[in-house]
Amino acid sequence: MEKTVRVFQKNKVQEIRVGITEFQGNDLIDIRTWSQRPNAEEYTPTSKGVSINVKLYPLLKEAVLALEKELKDAKLI
């Protein structure tokens, strides 16, 4: 399965894409930076990112929720 779930701008020429992908028979969560080359309209994936097995999603969610709490406690968000 290849599906982009969310996209948000990182800066003028880069965006972050969060999605589901498959590699060598494994379903993965992919969080990756995509870049726009000069004079090009399309974005291409970079090596900057992380892909983790979907089975690890509960741990990822727990980590993001813990991060949110820390950011709120520090009044960063």
**Banded pLDDT at 6 (limits 50, 70, 90):** very high
How far apart are the C-alpha atoms of 22 and 3, rounded to whole Å?
10
Q: What is the pLDDT of residue 39?
A: 87
Q: How many other β-carbons are positioned within 10 Å of the β-carbon of residue 27?
A: 12
Residue range 45-70, pLDDT digits in tens:
999 999 999 999 999 999 999 999 99
Q: What is the pLDDT of residue 58?
A: 98
Q: Could you give the domains of the chain? A: 3-73 (2.30.31.10)
